[in-house]
């Protein structure tokens, strides 16, 4: 297992990332040749739907609802392209060596899922067998390098564009790198492919807590969409506190955690104003209770056809169990997910509601009733 797990900084900050990546693919048995390289190529300029908010707020649920839609290429698990930290939108210079650019975006933990199968962590994970994940990181890497070298050969054309005064949006930037990365990724993952994709979609928890990252996202993706889910603060805190590390409570200070909830609500309302038309603010409660209504609204907002696949959680179009921190049956989950107040004392419930009254009222004023 040690050979499977690496931090991306291990590669991105190395003097020779190409050699380290080659060694890693060899050590993990991923250097497999041409298995998927030319079977599928996603369009290279698809807009990105970014799902981001506080952890334990429904991001995994929403991304898994998108998974089976025929017009969406949905990144598996959490889309950890952030660099230098997971919540930082990566600032990419296409003039850098393509091996280093790949290392900045690459998600080494996906190799673990290739070897062991995929299942989202949580108390229900032992109730479902791991699902196959037929992604080839080596093919992903090889195709990305090929795409970037093609772009490098075109740079002389951009020098001419500069002379002619062609707008910056048509010149190479971080978007070119990301387009190539995602096109190569889905080319290397047959299970994630679809016939007529119109968007790439991915879930990055906590990135929405950084206004600079969201600004950089929209700078690279002026055609992108941001979705932020807000969960009732009482239910959210109960779930957050239950997210332990081997039984050790990490998020037990109610005032500290509720301050984070308030800050996320404030930022989300700011994004809703600033990026009007490009940002959707959703209530987790409404998504659970009125799933079809919410998903129809989402489809209309994105100008994609509504499909019944939007109503079921899947991974590579295979049914997957929800991600929960509580021991309860699958039949109990839809109702109990909205009744986490029973996990708190009456004093804690009252205090959480008092501390969030202002921002809950402001959210309700824009149609997001938590």
Q: Give tens-digit pLDDT for 20-50.
A: 999 998 888 876 555 544 556 777 899 999 9
CATH architecture entry for 2-365? 3-Layer(aba) Sandwich (3.40)
What are the C-alpha distances in Å from 84 to residues 10, 11, 148, 319?
11, 12, 21, 33
* 8 Å CB contact between 119 and 112: no
Tokens coding 122: 């949580």
Torsions phi, psi for 160 (to 5 deg):
-65, -40
**Closest by Cα among 110, 75, 83, 105 to 177:** 105
pLDDT of 29 reads: 80
Q: What is the C-alpha to C-alpha distance for residues 169 and 179, in angstroms, rounded to an integer?
A: 14
Burial class of residue 276 in the structure, from the number of CB atoms within 10 Å of its CB (0-12 exposed, 13-18 middle, 19+ buried): exposed
Give pLDDT, residue 329.
Answer: 44
- pLDDT in tens for each of the 370 residues of the chain? 455 667 899 999 999 999 999 999 888 887 655 554 455 677 789 999 999 999 999 999 999 999 999 999 999 999 999 999 999 999 999 999 999 999 999 999 999 999 899 986 655 555 578 999 999 999 999 999 999 998 676 655 545 445 445 444 444 589 999 999 999 999 999 999 998 999 999 999 999 999 999 999 999 999 999 999 999 999 999 999 998 888 899 999 999 999 999 999 999 999 999 999 999 999 999 999 999 999 999 999 999 999 999 999 999 999 998 765 544 444 434 556 787 889 999 999 999 999 999 999 999 999 999 9
Q: Please report the pLDDT score of residue 340 as a whole number.
A: 83
Task: Report the pLDDT value the prediction gives residue 179, as an integer from 0 to 100.
Answer: 97
Express each pLDDT in 92-144 by its tens digit: 999 999 999 999 999 999 999 998 999 866 555 555 789 999 999 999 999 99
Q: How far is CA 18 from the centre of its chain?
A: 26
Q: Where are the alpha helices (DSSP H) in the chain?
A: 9-12, 17-27, 59-66, 98-105, 109-116, 137-153, 155-164, 174-187, 211-220, 233-242, 254-274, 284-289, 291-302, 333-336, 346-365
Alpha carbons 250 and 231: distance in angstroms, whole number: 20
**Closest Cα partner for 199 from 212, 186, 210, 209?**
186
Give the closest residue to 239 by CA, choosing from 229, 252, 228. 252
Interatomic CA distance for residues 342 and 328, integer angstroms: 14
For residue 90, give every residue at least 6 positions away whose Cβ sits within 8 Å of its Cβ, in sequence order, or none. 81, 82, 83, 104, 105, 174
- What residues contact 300, with CB distance under 8 A and at least 6 apart? 306
Q: Are 260 and 231 in contact (CB under 8 A)?
A: no
Question: What local confidence, expressed as pLDDT, does residue 126 receive?
Answer: 54
Separation of first and last alpha carbons in the chain: 41
* Ranges of each domain in the chain: 2-365
**Calpha distance 201→49 (Å, rounded):** 4
Query: What is the DSSP-derived secondary structure letter of residue 329?
Result: -
């Amino acid at each position: 297992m040690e050979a499977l797990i690496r931090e991306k900084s291990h590669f991105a900050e190395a003097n020779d990332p190409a050699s380290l990546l080659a060694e890693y693919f060899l050590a993990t048995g991923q250097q497999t040749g041409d298995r998927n390289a030319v079977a599928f190529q996603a369009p290279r300029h698809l807009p990105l739907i970014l799902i981001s908010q506080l952890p334990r707020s429904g991001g995994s649920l929403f991304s898994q609802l998108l998974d089976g839609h025929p017009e969406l290429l949905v990144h598996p698990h959490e889309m950890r392209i952030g660099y230098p930290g997971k919540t930082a939108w990566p600032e990419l210079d296409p003039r850098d060596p393509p091996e280093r650019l790949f290392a900045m975006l690459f998600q080494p933990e996906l190799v673990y899922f290739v070897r062991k199968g995929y299942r989202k962590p949580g108390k229900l994970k032992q109730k479902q067998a791991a699902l196959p994940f037929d992604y080839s990181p080596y093919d992903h890497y090889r195709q990305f390098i090929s795409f970037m070298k093609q772009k490098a050969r075109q740079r002389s054309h951009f020098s001419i564009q500069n002379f002619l005064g062609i707008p910056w949006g048509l010149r190479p930037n971080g978007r070119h790198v990301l387009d190539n990365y995602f096109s190569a990724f889905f080319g290397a993952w047959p299970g994630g492919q679809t016939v007529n994709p119109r968007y790439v979609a991915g879930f990055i928890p906590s990135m929405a807590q950084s206004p600079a990252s969201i600004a950089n996202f929209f700078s690279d993706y002026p055609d992108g969409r941001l979705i932020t889910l807000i969960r009732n603060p009482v239910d959210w805190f109960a779930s957050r506190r239950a997210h332990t590390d081997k039984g050790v409570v990490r998020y037990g200070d109610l005032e500290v955690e509720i301050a984070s909830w308030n800050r996320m609500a404030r930022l989300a309302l700011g994004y809703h104003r600033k990026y009007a038309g490009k940002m959707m603010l959703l209530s987790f409660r409404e998504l659970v209770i009125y799933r079809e209504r919410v998903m129809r609204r989402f489809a209309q907002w994105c100008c994609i056809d509504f499909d019944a696949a939007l109503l079921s959680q899947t991974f590579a179009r295979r049914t997957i169990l929800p991600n929960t921190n509580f021991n309860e049956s699958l039949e109990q989950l839809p109702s109990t997910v909205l009744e986490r107040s029973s996990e708190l004392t009456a004093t804690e419930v009252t205090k959480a509601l008092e501390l969030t009254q202002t921002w809950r009222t402001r959210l309700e004023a824009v149609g997001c009733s938590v």
